[in-house]
């Protein structure tokens, strides 16, 4: 055999695969068997992988006006005059715009009507979910529903229209808190970047015609995955960077700029941990890994804690004929994992 040999393996091109609760096992049959007529070292020449994780991230599409999350507002009372049960759900409730003619939209709500006191007459409307959306909305809009849609002889009311508050716009998961959006001078005009533990938020400070200087969100990128609704992102004045100059710190007066997380988006991103073992080879010096299994570990990487167990291991092989390679891919395997592994076989001249 030659002094060295390169072997390319790809998780999309396996011959056999099986899984258990902890590991996935790939078998690759070799078209041409590898005959080792001497002692060789097996090592990783190159390794890449893609492993998916899901989490609650934040997104921001400045052009989006599609209705997102809605919360209960005012005038939610009803008086029971029929014999409805304690809880009454209504679907496909039409959303009306809060204008002079109560313009209907294509958005729909699912609501519940609940007695405030058992066997009492007072009832309250509450939102269950937004079932259909429409465009043309903004954060903090008021939207209406017409109680005549569902009263059906069972209810009466004092105010015909119930009010709900638009809390978020689809794909716009964060908003600047209004009562912190002031105190900017003309020196702050321009584009600024804030790094929220890995999430990059781009903010523009501008001055609309006839108004004071204020900030708006331009974009969000590289979102981390641990946000929750009602989280608050605090931007200290010294920690924001000017995109044009690279300098940190603006001279905003009267405290920090606050950003509220009003919605979250499930985001899929790369994972962190990978462990690959190789099995069914004759090894010169048999050993046990920390898990007390004799399969030889060749890749043990943690991409988050990069200084811990971040290594490729070399294995010394006895003379043998290799007809197949069996790979044990373990630690946080999920559907959608892909890897490419290049192995180097090199003759060991020390024996």
Residues 81 and 160 placed together within one structural domain of the fold: yes
- pLDDT tens for 36-67 read 988 998 888 887 776 666 789 999 999 999 99
Residue span of the structural domain in which 117 resides: 70-166
| Interatomic CA distance for residues 55 and 165, integer angstroms | 27
Q: If phi over 0 gives left and psi between -120 and 50 gives alpha, with beta otherwise, what is residue 285? A: beta
Q: How many domains is the chain partitioned into structurally?
A: 3
Q: What integer pLDDT is reported at residue 305 of this predicted model?
A: 46
Residues 281 and 339 placed together within one structural domain of the fold: yes
Residue ending a domain, among 151, 166, 181, is 166
Residues 295 and 227 placed together within one structural domain of the fold: no
Residues 28 and 98 placed together within one structural domain of the fold: no
- Please tell me the pTM assigned to this model: 0.60
Q: What integer pLDDT is reported at residue 213 of this predicted model?
A: 96
Residues 256 and 190 placed together within one structural domain of the fold: yes
CA distances from 322 to 7, 59, 78, 150 (A): 12, 50, 78, 74
Residue ending a domain, among 126, 144, 166, is 166
**Do 166 and 139 form a contact (C-beta atoms < 8 A)?**
yes
CATH of the domain at 288: 2.60.120
Residues 288 and 257 placed together within one structural domain of the fold: no
Q: What integer pLDDT is reported at residue 332 of this predicted model?
A: 46
Q: What integer pLDDT is reported at residue 337 of this predicted model?
A: 67
Residue ending a domain, among 150, 166, 182, is 166
Q: What integer pLDDT is reported at residue 309 of this predicted model?
A: 46
How would you classify the pairing of strands 315-317 and 16-19?
unpaired
In 86-211, DSSP assigns E strands to 87-97, 104-115, 122-132, 142-146, 155-156, 161-166, 174-176, 190-196, 199-206
pLDDT in 10s for each residue of the chain, 351 residues: 567 888 888 888 889 888 776 678 889 998 889 999 889 988 888 877 766 667 899 999 999 999 999 999 999 999 988 776 667 889 999 999 999 999 999 999 999 998 888 888 899 999 999 999 999 999 899 999 999 887 677 889 999 999 999 999 999 999 999 999 999 999 999 999 999 988 999 999 999 999 999 999 999 988 888 999 999 999 999 999 999 998 999 999 999 999 999 999 998 765 555 667 777 788 876 544 444 445 567 766 655 444 444 456 788 888 999 999 888 876 544 555 677 888 888 988 776
Residues 157 and 184 placed together within one structural domain of the fold: no
Residues 16 and 96 placed together within one structural domain of the fold: no
| Interatomic CA distance for residues 136 and 109, integer angstroms | 16
Residue with tokens 């997102």: 68
- Tokens representing 261 are 């997380």
**Do 79 and 122 form a contact (C-beta atoms < 8 A)?**
yes
Residues 181 and 157 placed together within one structural domain of the fold: no
- pLDDT tens for 321-335 read 999 988 887 654 455
Residues 139 and 94 placed together within one structural domain of the fold: yes
Q: What integer pLDDT is reported at residue 351 of this predicted model?
A: 63
- Tokens representing 324 are 């197949």
Residues 198 and 148 placed together within one structural domain of the fold: no
């Amino acid at each position: 055999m030659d002094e060295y040999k390169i072997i390319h393996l790809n998780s999309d091109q396996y011959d056999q695969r099986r899984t258990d609760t902890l590991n996935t096992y790939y078998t690759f049959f070799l078209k041409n068997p590898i005959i080792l007529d001497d002692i060789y070292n097996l090592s990783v020449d190159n390794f890449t992988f893609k492993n998916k994780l899901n989490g609650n991230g934040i997104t921001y599409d400045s052009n989006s006006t599609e209705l997102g999350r809605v919360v209960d507002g005012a005038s939610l009372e009803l008086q029971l005059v029929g014999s409805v049960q304690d809880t009454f759900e209504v679907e496909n409730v039409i959303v009306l715009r809060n204008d002079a003619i109560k313009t209907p939209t294509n958005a729909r709500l699912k609501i519940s009507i609940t007695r405030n006191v058992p066997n009492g007459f007072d009832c309250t409307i509450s939102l269950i979910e937004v079932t259909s959306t429409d465009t043309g909305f903004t954060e903090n809009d008021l939207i209406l529903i017409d109680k005549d849609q569902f009263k059906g002889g069972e209810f009466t009311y004092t105010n015909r229209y119930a009010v709900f508050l638009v809390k978020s716009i689809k794909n716009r998961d964060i908003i600047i808190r209004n009562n912190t959006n002031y105190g900017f001078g003309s020196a702050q005009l321009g584009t600024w970047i804030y790094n929220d533990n890995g999430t990059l938020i781009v903010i523009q400070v501008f001055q609309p015609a006839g108004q004071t200087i204020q900030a708006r969100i331009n974009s969000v990128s590289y979102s981390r995955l641990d946000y929750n609704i009602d989280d608050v992102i605090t931007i200290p004045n010294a920690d924001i960077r000017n995109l044009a100059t690279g300098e940190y710190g603006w001279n905003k007066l009267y405290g920090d700029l606050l950003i509220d997380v009003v919605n979250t988006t499930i985001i899929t991103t790369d994972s962190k941990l990978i462990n690959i073992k190789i099995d069914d080879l004759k090894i010169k010096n048999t050993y046990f890994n920390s898990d007390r299994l004799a399969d030889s570990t060749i890749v043990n990487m943690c991409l988050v804690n990069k200084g811990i167990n971040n290594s490729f291991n070399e294995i010394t092989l006895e003379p043998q004929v290799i007809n197949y390679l069996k790979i044990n891919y373990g630690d946080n395997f999920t559907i959608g994992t892909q890897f490419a592994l290049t192995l180097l076989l090199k003759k060991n001249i020390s024996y």
